[in-house]
Copies of this chain bind each other. A is one copy, B any other.
Amino acid sequence: MSIKCRFCPIRNLPLFQPLTDAELGFMEDFKVGEMTVQPDTPILSSGAASPQLFTALKGFGLRYRLLSDGRRQVLSFVFPGDLIGLQAGVMNQMTHNVESTTAMTLCVFNRNELWTLFRNQPQRAYDLTWIAASEERFLGEALTAIGQKSALESVCWALARIYRRLEALHMDERKSVPLPYRQQDLADSLGLSLVHTNKTLAKLRSRQIASWSDGRLQVNDIQALEEMGLVDAIEPHNRPLM
């Protein structure tokens, strides 16, 4: 049984912009259901024109592209509140894949209603464009990390960004956040080998800056981590939730 949007468990976090009653009403019509998936479930596949978009309510996933020989580039990690499938929704063609890493709960929206949303809810349409621009900005940051930063700088950048995102979701607890991914996933997001990623994480652990084990990331000094990762100061900013 679907949760009504007004009872959404995450929408009242300060991270997310509030919605008007009219917007809430529209979203409740736009939402066609809820879906729970097990770990390692494909959610969207490259080449497929999916009829649905999703918002992640609970759980973790990732977006990735594959080369013909099996090499995998992880584009980003999916956390609660993230919209999934906008590219397919708007362009009618996916070029990347999305899959769950843990069990996930997803709100399901019907792509056929997207045009209705653009016609009747300009603020929500603006929010969708904002989300697309935000994802573009993140990919620009990732491109800069992979293209210009050393392995240590890149790993620090990635862990700092992950920590801050989960902190904004109030998932932090005593300077640690859940991080249920494998080291290969982080390696594939930064264009590094698994072995080198492991060694770089060991270096951070030995310097007591950050340690990742048993599905949790402990960050002792987020400022140091951000400085080592050359993370740009980003103004705190709330974001739309679909």
Chain B interface: which of A14-22, A124-132, A169-177, A211-219?
A124-132
A206: chain B residues within 8 A (beta carbon): none
A87 touches B148 (CB 8 A): no
Contacting B at CB under 8 A, from A115-153, are 115, 118-119, 122-123, 125-126, 128-130, 132-137, 139-144, 146-149
B148 touches A191 (CB 8 A): yes
Given A118-B125, A132-B136, answer yes or no on A146-B86 (Cβ-Cβ < 8 Å): no
B65 touches A140 (CB 8 A): yes
A235: chain B residues within 8 A (beta carbon): 93
Whole-angstrom CA separation of A141 from B66 in the bound complex:
10
Q: How large is the interface on A (under 10, 10 to 19, 20 to 34, 35 or more residues)?
A: 35 or more
A67 touches B137 (CB 8 A): no
For residue A171, give the distance in angstroms from its CB to the closest CB of chain B.
Answer: 24
Q: Which of B96, B140, B232 contacts A75 (CB 8 A)?
A: B140
Number of copies: 2
Q: Which of B86, B125, B137, B148 contacts A72 (CB 8 A)?
A: B148
Whole-angstrom CA separation of A144 from B149 in the bound complex:
16
Max chain B C-beta neighbours (<10 A), residue from A86, A139, A189 = A139
A137 touches B91 (CB 8 A): yes
A126: chain B residues within 8 A (beta carbon): 90, 115, 118, 125
Max chain B C-beta neighbours (<10 A), residue from A71, A118, A140, A147 = A147
Given A91-B137, A140-B96, A143-B75, answer yes or no on A68-B125 (Cβ-Cβ < 8 Å): no
Smallest CB gap from A92: residue in B: B237
Smallest CB gap from A46: residue in B: B232
Q: Which of B75, B86, B147 contacts A190 (CB 8 A)?
A: B147
A148 touches B75 (CB 8 A): no
A143 touches B141 (CB 8 A): no
A91 touches B134 (CB 8 A): yes
Q: Which of B90, B144, B147 contacts A130 (CB 8 A)?
A: B90
Complex A-B, nearest 4 residue pairs according to Cβ-Cβ distance, in ascending order? A147-B191, A132-B132, A139-B139, A73-B144
User: What are 21 residue pairs bridging A and B, where the CB atoms are less than 8 Å apart in the complex?
Assistant: A65-B140, A65-B144, A72-B148, A73-B143, A73-B148, A75-B144, A86-B133, A90-B129, A93-B235, A95-B140, A95-B232, A115-B122, A118-B122, A118-B123, A118-B129, A125-B126, A136-B139, A143-B143, A146-B146, A147-B189, A148-B191
